[in-house]
Structure 1
Amino acid sequence: MSDLADVAVLMPAFNDQADVERTLASFRETSPVHVLIVDDDSTPPIAAPAIDGMRIEILRMPKNGGIERALQAGIEALAARGVRYAARIDAGDLATPCRLAKQRAYMEAHPRVAVLGMWTYVVSTEGAPLFDLTPSAEPRAVRRMMLARTCFTHPSLMLRVDAVIEAGNYRAQYRAAEDLDLILRLMQRHDGANLPEFGLFYELNKGGISATRRRAQVVSTLRLQLQHVRVTNPLDWIGIAKSIAHLVLPYGALRSLKARLMKTTPSE
């Protein structure tokens, strides 16, 4: 049996054919890779590229419903196929070598972990390094910090499919914060962790959700923080205060400040 026989890459896509091909071509694994692209009613439809070592399926949504419903449908399809682990990535982002094998090995060794991220290089659309995301790795630290700061980069995640189904799958109730909603529900019964290695080049795109749906994302995040707040944890209240600040300050100013605070020397 292939080491990745029970793993599938889950990628939602909408009118991003070139980015889909570039992202999938970035995977470097020693075992064949199964990919499920959820085409959210693209025009023209997304076509499966021919890439050696990849088996690519396309699930076409009957109408455009947004990333939340696309991911929900993708998880349901993977569960029906008996896939154990779903590895998220978005069109435009790039994987580092052996990302899938490293994450699967960790999750096999840590059965309590249902959501596993990796450290992330954040780059411009031209590929220039901007800053690195190196959140806490251990489950206890992640749980303590989870409402105060972003503990996971969504496109770097590997998820246990059965745990996601048990938790209620992705939902559309919290627009543009579907990842946080799912993670908080998963961590009610399971652990979350980060593999302290770089697994993703994340493209900071001005047309991405964080920019174009910023207010909806912040409002959804604040609703989730208030719902899950632990009154004795000061970090939860810091997170709530940050979300309120995001509602009243311009996106450009916050992005520039974050880049200055988080900028590190690029890795050689």
Structure 2
Amino acid sequence: MKSCPQKIDFYLLIPFYNNLPGLLHSLQSVLYDADKYAVVIVDDGSTHPVTLEDVYRQISKNISVEIIQLPYNKGITIALNTGLQWIMQQNKASFVARLDCGDICTPERFYRQVTFLQEHPQIDLVGSWCIFKDFTTNVAFKYITPTQQKQIKRGMYFRNIFIHPTVMWRCDAMKENKLYPETYPDAEDYGFFYQFLLKGECAIIPEYLVTCEINHKGISLNSRKKQLNSRIKVVREYGRNRVLRYLGVLKLRLLLIIPYNLVFAMKRVLYGV
């Protein structure tokens, strides 16, 4: 890893598993001052581990990159927490941002989020709107969420307002050993973001700052029932409003019986681009 300066704006945390083309595609979309951020890649036991040589063939060697190799595939929650624990030990950054292999950032994404958090010290977590896109078929739809604190808290009973690859949060907000919970398989991010909501303020930037890849082999599609059951558990355990908690669980139970193809078709009709 190229040595980091004493203080940087953010670490970009990326879990990796056998997807070098997706990783490089994502890294090429990241635009920010090279000496003000660093990339942390957690290789979750890939059969073909990623190397610094792989990364630096595609991005500037002026960018700091740390690769953490796990000895075998432990799952995304452990991979993410391993990365977070390493980041907190460094104590060099103000913020942590997330990105997944295959997802693409707009050129202004990180400038907008860093500036937003610097100008709003009361906000611990910020996300953005995004576009979901199948890069093979070019089918795409918008993901639009509330932007006001009250509506965000209400909306979280019914869906995850914070799409994982769009978020940035304060390192200081994790000082209470805040990690991704391991009790919500395939919905660890939902539980993680709820922790921020219960203890501080969060926000959404109403701009499409990330294009998220629709991966039909991904967790959200292959493990949909497990994910929905985990989301039900999150709402039950973190939701404080009894009525909204009941309605949120009801919606998630309905999604369990509705075929995903139908849900996907409705999204294309309502939010297609």
- In the superposition, the TM-score normalised over structure 2's length comes to 0.89
Q: 2:8–2:94: 8 Å Cα contact kept in structure 1?
A: no
User: Cα deviation per residue 1:131-187 (whole Å; 9 max; x = unaligned)?
Assistant: 111211222221121112231111111022231342531121111101110111111
Q: Specify the alignment match of 2:12 in structure 1.
A: 9
**Contact kept in structure 2, 1:30 and 1:98, CA below 8 Å:** no
Q: Does 1:57 align with 2:66?
A: yes
Residue 90 (structure 1) shift: 0.1
SS in 1 for 2:176: helix
Structure 1 unaligned residues grouped into runs of 5+ = none
Which residue matches 2:117? Answer: 107
Which AA in structure 1 matches 2:86?
Answer: A
Counterpart position of 1:25: 28
Kept after mapping to 2: 8 A contact 1:116/1:158: yes
Q: Could you tell me whether the CA contact under 8 Å between 1:167 and 1:182 is conserved in 2?
A: no
Q: Is the 8 A contact 1:41 1:62 kept in 2?
A: yes
Aligned equivalents of 1:254, 1:103: Cα separation in 2: 31
Q: Which residue in the other structure is 1:72 paired with?
A: 81
Shift of 1:231: 3.7
Q: Normalising by structure 1, what TM-score?
A: 0.91
Aligned residues: 262
* Aligned counterpart, 1:170: 180
Q: What secondary structure, in the 3-state scheme, does the structure 2 residue paired with 1:244 have?
A: helix
Query: Against the structure 1 CA distance between its residues 145 and 209, is the aligned structure 2 distance closer, same or farther, given a 3 Å change threshold?
Result: same
| Identity percentage of aligned residues | 28
Query: Any runs of at least 4 consecutive aligned residues in structure 1 with deviations exceeding 6 A, and if so which?
Result: none
**Structure 1 counterpart of 2:214, which letter?**
L
Q: CA deviation at 1:98?
A: 2.4
Confirm whether residue 250 of structure 1 aligns to residue 259 of structure 2. Answer: yes
Match of residue 147 from structure 2: 137
More deviation, 125-134/96-105: 125-134
Q: 1:12 touches 1:37 (CA, 8 Å); kept in 2?
A: yes
Q: Return the alpha-carbon distance in structure 2 between the equivalents of residues 258 and 143 of structure 1.
A: 23
d(CA) in 2 for partners of 1:13, 1:127 = 24
| CA contact 1:17–1:47 (8 Å) conserved in 2 | no
